[in-house]
């Protein structure tokens, strides 16, 4: 496929299923690596180490949104992408990354003064280099995504995360402290760049004036505004804890967040990568577009949301098994964040609609409203400490999901009622599964941690099996999810 070609509509569904299968295998491997590194690093590092890195990563996350400038999404959804345009986008992303690197280095001392933690200066200077590396990698990832070549993308992500985790564990064992976590970020960015550039098989031409960039920059500008507002809303919890409490408190919260959200995002984000090029080419076929959204919500909802229900119920043995007893303060945080993540997952297909239809301005307005809501909930909850912050974050997420359905139904053709009904069926399984996962080990009395966790999982699975037996509709939903899973393997 040349740079001017887009993925072809015929056979989009089978290709999407195959792509999803490859992606899910890769994400499963990444989750194994993630959990393994969490388990080992939590025993080698202190909560304060994670707290320091978490502060800098908030700044890095803001910079990453600006560095991308929405150009990856704009390029993926474009019907055509010429080689000249691709090269121009490469240099724009790289130049923004270099500028951000300089800005962060220059402002690193201010960051340390704001949080009154001197080590932040050196950490911020070191991590500033990731902007340049990730800027160079952006359009290589776009090329592989447009061509629906997800195997090299998955390979790059898995190998990079594995190599970076190995370096971090080795340095932590040698007593490097928070520098082990810094090295992990840098090594991962270097490996990703190399591993996506090689299979993409192109080198950028020299920078030059290129016509036709305005549509990309316009959509990118709308998206970057939306992403910045959304990122600020998503990280108001981290900033609030960093300013109001100590680094140890932030480290506890960060471990709960990363334990849950990192592997979860490794499942949800690739789903968007697969769905976006397909939905972009189904815009003129409302029936197939709506059906894809319905199936996508169920495919995410039943496996992920039901699992999150079990995580919320079994948070105590899960934290003790993975992190150890000194991280017991993470337990209520993890349970509340699981509730938040479940609501966010149910609303995820709404994001697909905004992006595939180019509704950047509408997404921005919605994001501003929900970010204000999240800010109010988190700030109110912070009066009750770290657990209050997590509760505020969860409450905001639960309110945002129905708001998302209502807002999308107003601004575009959107199967809001169908998706609401499907989501309620998912919750009809997830909520009882979570309660069972909490009650069964509790009723069984004092048990080894691994046994308690196993009972919790089995109790949740039993609830889902009972729901499928009683409800024909839920049984049909689960059959559809299983059929989609088989298609990912066979095609």
Residue-wise pLDDT tens digits, 13-26: 555 555 556 666 76
Examine residue 382 and state whether it is found in any structural domain, yes or no: yes
Domain that holds residue 490: 282-491
The verdict on 440 and 311 lying in the same domain is: yes
Choose the final residue of a domain: 183, 198, 221.
221
Q: Is 246 helix (H, G, I), strand (E, B) or coil?
A: coil
pLDDT band at 252; cut points 50, 70, 90 = confident
pLDDT band at 5; cut points 50, 70, 90 = very low
Q: Is residue 298's pLDDT more than 60?
A: yes
The mean pLDDT of the chain is 83
For residues 169 and 44, the answer to whether their CB atoms sit within 8 Å is: yes
The verdict on 176 and 292 lying in the same domain is: no
Examine residue 273 and state whether it is found in any structural domain, yes or no: no
Residue-wise pLDDT tens digits, 323-375: 777 788 889 999 999 999 999 899 888 888 888 887 877 888 888 888 889 88
The verdict on 190 and 326 lying in the same domain is: no
The verdict on 299 and 205 lying in the same domain is: no
Examine residue 239 and state whether it is found in any structural domain, yes or no: no
The verdict on 210 and 294 lying in the same domain is: no
Q: What is the pLDDT of residue 18?
A: 57
The verdict on 211 and 290 lying in the same domain is: no
Q: For residues 269 and 275, what is the distance between their CA atoms, to the nearest angstrom? A: 10
What's the rounded mean pLDDT across residues 227-243? 76
The verdict on 214 and 286 lying in the same domain is: no
Q: What is the pLDDT of residue 45?
A: 85
Rg of the chain over all Cα atoms, to the nearest angstrom = 22
Instruction: Look up the pTM and report it.
Output: 0.68
The verdict on 217 and 286 lying in the same domain is: no
The verdict on 119 and 194 lying in the same domain is: yes
Between residues 11 and 233, the one the model is more confident about: 233
Find which of 13-22, 155-164, 244-253 is predicted with most confidence, using mean pLDDT: 155-164
Q: What is the pLDDT of residue 305?
A: 93
Examine residue 277 and state whether it is found in any structural domain, yes or no: no
pLDDT band at 2; cut points 50, 70, 90 = very low
Specify the number of domains making up the chain: 2
Residue that is written with structure tokens 């995820």 in the block: 348
Q: What is the pLDDT of residue 448?
A: 84
304-335: string of b/e by CB count within 10 Å (b at 16+)? Answer: bbbbbbbbbbbbbbbbbebbeeebebbbbbbb
Choose the final residue of a domain: 178, 205, 221.
221
Examine residue 271 and state whether it is found in any structural domain, yes or no: no
Q: What is the pLDDT of residue 152?
A: 86
Lowest average pLDDT, out of 162-171, 226-235, 239-248, goes to 226-235
Residue 295 neighbours by CB under 8 Å, 6+ apart: 480, 484
pLDDT band at 11; cut points 50, 70, 90 = very low
Examine residue 237 and state whether it is found in any structural domain, yes or no: no
Q: What is the pLDDT of residue 10?
A: 42
Q: Is 1 helix (H, G, I), strand (E, B) or coil?
A: coil
Q: Is residue 150's pLDDT more than 90?
A: no
How many other CB atoms sit within 10 Å of the CB of residue 349? 30
Lowest average pLDDT, out of 111-120, 133-142, 244-253, goes to 244-253
What's the rounded mean pLDDT across residues 90-99? 90
Between residues 83 and 247, the one the model is more confident about: 83
Q: Is residue 69's pLDDT more than 70?
A: yes
The verdict on 371 and 443 lying in the same domain is: yes
Examine residue 102 and state whether it is found in any structural domain, yes or no: yes
Q: Is residue 163's pLDDT more than 90?
A: yes
For residues 257 and 394, the answer to whether their CB atoms sit within 8 Å is: no
What's the rounded mean pLDDT across residues 183-192? 94
Choose the final residue of a domain: 175, 191, 221.
221
The verdict on 216 and 323 lying in the same domain is: no
Residue-wise pLDDT tens digits, 277-292: 778 778 778 888 888 8
The verdict on 214 and 334 lying in the same domain is: no
Q: For residues 320 and 121, what is the distance between their CA atoms, to the nearest angstrom? A: 33
Q: What is the pLDDT of residue 16?
A: 54
Examine residue 238 and state whether it is found in any structural domain, yes or no: no
Q: What is the DSSP string of 65-78?
A: HHHHTTHHHHHHH-
Q: Is residue 386's pLDDT more than 50?
A: yes
């Amino acid at each position: 496929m040349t740079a001017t070609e887009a993925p072809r509509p015929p056979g989009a569904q089978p290709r999407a299923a195959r792509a999803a299968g490859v992606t899910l295998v890769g994400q499963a491997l990444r989750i194994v690596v993630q959990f393994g590194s969490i388990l080992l690093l939590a025993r080698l590092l202190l909560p304060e180490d994670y707290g320091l890195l978490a502060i800098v990563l908030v700044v890095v996350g803001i910079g990453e949104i600006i560095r991308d400038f929405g150009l990856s999404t704009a390029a993926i959804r474009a019907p055509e992408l010429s080689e000249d345009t691709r090269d121009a986008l490469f240099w724009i992303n790289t130049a923004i990354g270099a500028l951000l690197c300089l800005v962060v280095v220059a402002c690193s001392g201010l960051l340390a003064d704001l949080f009154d933690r001197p080590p932040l200066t050196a950490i911020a200077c070191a991590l500033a280099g990731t902007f340049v590396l990730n800027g160079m990698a952006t359009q290589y990832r776009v090329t592989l995504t447009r061509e629906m070549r997800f195997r090299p993308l998955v390979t790059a992500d898995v190998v990079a995360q594995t190599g970076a985790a190995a370096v971090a564990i080795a340095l932590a064992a040698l007593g490097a402290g928070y520098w082990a976590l810094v090295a992990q970020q840098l090594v991962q960015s270097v490996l990703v760049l190399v591993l996506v550039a090689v299979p993409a098989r192109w080198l950028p031409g020299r920078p030059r004036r290129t016509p036709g960039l305005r549509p990309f920059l316009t959509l990118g500008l709308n998206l970057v505004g939306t992403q910045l507002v959304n990122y600020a809303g998503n990280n108001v919890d981290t900033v609030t804890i960093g300013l109001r409490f100590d680094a140890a408190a932030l480290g506890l919260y960060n471990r709960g967040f990363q334990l849950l959200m990192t592997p979860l995002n490794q499942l949800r984000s690739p789903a968007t990568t697969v769905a976006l090029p397909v939905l972009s080419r189904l815009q003129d076929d409302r029936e197939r577009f709506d059906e894809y959204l319905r199936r996508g919500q169920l495919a995410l909802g039943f496996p992920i949301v039901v699992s999150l229900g079990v995580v919320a119920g079994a948070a105590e043995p899960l934290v003790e098994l993975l992190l150890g007893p000194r991280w017991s303060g993470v337990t209520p945080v993890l349970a509340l964040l699981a509730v938040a993540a479940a609501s966010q997952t149910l609303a995820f297909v709404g994001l697909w609609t905004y992006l595939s239809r180019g509704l950047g301005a509408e997404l921005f307005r919605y994001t501003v409203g929900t970010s204000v809501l999240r800010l109010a909930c988190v700030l109110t909850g912070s009066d009750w400490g770290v657990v209050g912050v997590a509760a505020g974050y969860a409450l905001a997420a639960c309110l945002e999901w129905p708001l998302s359905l209502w807002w999308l139904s107003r601004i575009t053709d959107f199967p809001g009622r169908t998706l609401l009904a499907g989501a309620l069926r998912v919750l009809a399984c997830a909520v009882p599964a979570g309660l069972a996962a909490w009650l069964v080990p509790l009723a069984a009395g004092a048990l080894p941690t691994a046994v308690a966790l196993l009972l919790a999982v089995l109790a949740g699975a039993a609830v889902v099996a009972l729901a499928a037996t009683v409800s024909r509709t839920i049984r049909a939903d689960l059959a559809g999810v299983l059929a989609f899973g088989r298609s990912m393997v066979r095609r």
